[in-house]
Structure 1
Amino acid sequence: MKKNRLLAKWLNNDLSEDELAEFKASADFEKYQKIKNYTEHLEIGDFDDNAMLSNILNQKKETPKEIPLYKNWIFRAAAIFVLALGITFLLKFFVPQTETASFGEKTTFSLPDNSEVVLNSGSEINYKKWNWDNNRRLELKGEAYFRVAKGRRFEVQTSLGKVSVLGTQFNVKARKNRFDVVCYEGRVKVNYANFQILLTHGQSVSFENGKQTKMKVHSLKPEWTENQICFYKENIRTLLDEVERQYNIKIELNTKDTVSLFTGKLPAKNLDIALQIISTTYHLEAKKVSKNKIIFDEK
């Protein structure tokens, strides 16, 4: 404290002779003398505090920006829209697409490469749009007719077997234990269990419980696409299942004869005629107990 007091008095030239002698004898005197000699040459202009205050008060103040509430709402709405658009894109291209045909209906749609598919009643197809041109693969439950655009290999996977093609027209049916494939144009490779068969124009193959049947086809497209249900050596229960799908009805069968096989056609748009053909073929009597239920009894 004494040292600091002496320094302050020395800077103001207020030291007595004894104090000055004491201060000069200190170890830091030489350093203090150099600092004093240097600062004596510095000049500081007069400080006008009033002018400084006036200058500050006259400066233009920037008004804080205010964003109206309606603009905030617009920003939020835009963000939600962009998010929804992104989710829609993901669902459209990455999530598997499903096409269905309910009982009593048929559905026609196009795949990303413009291949056309016609779904028969009670059928479903699943596929992915993403990278479709390089991976043309779909899963089928039921029956569908395909007109495939040319391109890479096209595959139809079912629970019973697989069909592979390039560009062609064909029909695939996988119901219960029955797997049918018909080639109407080009070539079709069929994989079923340990079998692999190549079909060409006008050929078809059927598998049921491991048994294979091949036959010629004379039509240009599946009869069901023209409202005709075609059967080849089908038992009555399988036949009635298809009638139920086409007409969206329930059929109860009361007969002991369930092994006789049916080959022929039934109309898909005239239930009365279809019931009459079945009744005559199997010696049955059809009764409509309600709008959507039929009972077949033995005569």
Structure 2
Amino acid sequence: MDFDLNLPKFLADNFEFTINGVKPTTFYLGSTTPVAANPGQLEVQVKLFGLIPVRHMTVSVVPEIRVIPGGQAIGVMVESEGVMVVGRSAIVDEKGIRHNPAAEAGVELGDVLIKVNGQKVETESQVRDIINKLGQDGKSLDMELRDRHSKEIYKTRIKPIYCNETKRYRIGLFVRDSTAGVGTMTFFDPQTKSYGALGHIISDIDTCQPINLDRGKIVAARIEGIRIGRKGQPGEKMGVFRGENDISGTITKNTNCGIFGKLNKAPKNIYGNGTVPVAMAGEVKEGPARFIQF
């Protein structure tokens, strides 16, 4: 346990701590390091000079987590919930008149199309076929979308227009249902078979909007090259997927801190045979760092 009060040492050394459930029960800062026998919540009494009550607080004791460091190259394949709107285009009908029914209905780039006429949509081809079929039948589309800004669901009705160029009915949208790329695994927890990777959220390349994860998986990858980053243009890893022999798992979360999920088996520990402890947020301090090459 660490009780750094950010006070001058001559004053901090006079605070007495009393915690039932640790050994020793009573201690002063710097005199000893208390150890909790079991995880849980503990009541802490703080007294100045061991006499004057200063603070009463509750602390949570969590078990130590140990993980296998990552560093392995992985291929990432993500399928979004619904299909994301990544572009809009005008439709030229048989009379040469230009239309953009989706834009007129208020659909914006980054919005996610979830349902059409009550039917859940999952792929680009499915959306294309539904629009064309309803257009041939002379019917409008009742669409449910998630707004890119508020994340709330909204509904709109759009009538498909026959496109003279593509010879099918369209509404003036380009959508995407999946994305793929390569990245780096951060850690693997052998106790839970959980992993973390990337260290950032996966966003759509065109709209820069985070992808609402429906399902995804990771496999082993081989890095073929590095594109050096420049001002206004981030760097990029270039690689190929190697398949599921070495690394195979699911993606369950796409967050600002990276992607997380489960692996089917433990990956090869490229640093050795042991695990390393995970520091709590309050334990991370500025200082020297060590880079491991392999």
After TM superposition, the score normalised by the length of structure 2 is 0.17
Question: Rg: which structure is higher?
Answer: 1
Report the structure, 1 or 2, having the larger strand content: 2
Higher relative contact order (CA 8 A, sep 6+): 2
